[in-house]
């Protein structure tokens, strides 16, 4: 590394959080493979039209391991990188908030698919903590409505059928174009437009490293492919960058 400390961009997917007890979606044991009907619970059209879907969704949220999960070694390694003074930005497809919980500053995390830690009203757009809504569910409300206007509440995640926030996506594209090192970790790189950030980074001259158990469509563009477990491979990779930055 040179003294300028180049920008490191990290695109994180579900695989970075599996060690925290959150199952992935498209892997061999993924949610979509074990329960194909689960996809309807996070499809906007079905969610808005069917109270039964919403009630099942709230039960799923109440039982979800995501809100009880804690950051793991991979999340911690990214925080060490940032605290070592290396310019780093995380672009995450995850909605679990574990990067921030690990200690990464909010402004350095772009949540492409929103967050499961907040609820939003589909009518008045008021936001509130997910924990408050789940307390209402546990108290007997099967489909809690917005406390302000009575509208339908949903998690502040981007459901199937919804567009990504154009500002967040625009910022992510700028980071992909401007970084010198782009690390895609724990993502199948099959979901667009998130996956396209990998190609944008490579085309813009960034060194591309893909850390993932399964092959991805962007593997041919990668400078380095890592198939080792993320919980050990990512810390080794990032701690190496920290050491180089300290001696650069």
Contacts of 57 by beta carbon, 8 Å cutoff, 6+ apart: 41, 42, 47
Q: Which of 75, 99, 113, 125 is catalytic?
A: 113
pLDDT in tens, 184-220: 999 999 989 999 999 999 999 999 999 999 999 999 9
Q: What are the C-alpha distances in Å from 219 to residues 133, 206, 211, 224?
A: 41, 14, 10, 9
pLDDT in tens, 74-118: 999 999 999 999 999 999 999 999 999 999 999 999 999 999 999
How does residue 40 score in pLDDT terms, banded at 50, 70 and 90?
confident
pLDDT score at 24: 67
Averaged pLDDT, 172-176: 98
99 catalytic per annotation: no
Shared domain for 108 and 125, answered yes or no, is: no
Shared domain for 209 and 242, answered yes or no, is: yes
Distance CA 83, CA 34 (A): 39
- Average predicted confidence (pLDDT) for the chain: 91
Contact 188, 26 (CB under 8 A): yes
The pair of three-digit structure tokens given for residue 191, joined into one six-digit string = 């979901």
How does residue 1 score in pLDDT terms, banded at 50, 70 and 90?
very low
pLDDT score at 200: 98
- Cα distance between the two ends of the chain: 6
Shared domain for 198 and 106, answered yes or no, is: yes
- 231 by DSSP, 3-state: which? helix
Shared domain for 54 and 8, answered yes or no, is: no
CATH of the domain at 127: 3.30.1600.10
pTM, full prediction: 0.89
Shared domain for 214 and 233, answered yes or no, is: yes
pLDDT score at 159: 94
Instruction: Specify the residue for token string 């307390």.
Output: 135
pLDDT in tens, 119-160: 999 999 999 999 999 999 999 999 999 999 999 999 999 999
Shared domain for 209 and 175, answered yes or no, is: yes
Shared domain for 29 and 18, answered yes or no, is: no
CATH of the domain at 171: 3.40.50.1220
Shared domain for 217 and 194, answered yes or no, is: yes
Shared domain for 79 and 134, answered yes or no, is: no
Distance CA 89, CA 7 (A): 8
Shared domain for 131 and 83, answered yes or no, is: no
- Give the domain range for residue 216: 1-22+71-113+163-248
How does residue 34 score in pLDDT terms, banded at 50, 70 and 90?
low
- Degrees to nearest 5, angle at CA 191 with 187 and 196: 90
Averaged pLDDT, 63-78: 91
Number of independent structural domains in the chain: 2
pLDDT score at 136: 97
């Amino acid at each position: 590394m040179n003294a300028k400390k180049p920008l490191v961009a990290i695109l994180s997917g579900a695989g970075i959080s599996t060690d925290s007890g959150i199952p992935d979606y498209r892997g061999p044991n993924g949610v979509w493979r074990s329960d194909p009907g689960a996809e309807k619970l996070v499809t906007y059209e079905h969610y808005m039209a069917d109270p039964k879907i919403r009630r099942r969704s709230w039960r799923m949220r109440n039982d979800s391991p995501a809100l009880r999960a804690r950051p793991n070694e991979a999340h911690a390694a990214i925080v060490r990188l940032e605290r070592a003074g290396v310019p780093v930005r995380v672009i995450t497809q995850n909605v679990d908030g574990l990067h921030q919980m690990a200690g990464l500053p909010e402004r350095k995390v772009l949540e492409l698919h929103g967050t499961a830690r907040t609820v939003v009203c589909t009518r008045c757009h008021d936001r509130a903590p997910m924990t408050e809504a789940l307390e209402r569910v546990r108290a007997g409300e099967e489909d809690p409505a917005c406390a302000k206007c009575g509208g339908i509440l949903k998690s502040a995640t981007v459901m199937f059928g919804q567009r990504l926030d154009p500002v967040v996506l625009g910022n992510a594209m700028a980071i992909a174009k401007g970084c010198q090192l782009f690390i895609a970790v724990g993502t199948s790189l099959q979901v667009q437009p998130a996956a396209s950030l990998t190609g944008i980074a490579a085309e813009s001259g960034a060194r591309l490293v893909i850390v993932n158990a399964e092959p991805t469509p962007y593997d041919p563009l990668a400078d380095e492919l890592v198939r080792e477990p993320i919980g050990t491979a990512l810390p080794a990779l990032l701690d190496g960058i920290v050491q180089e930055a300290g001696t650069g």
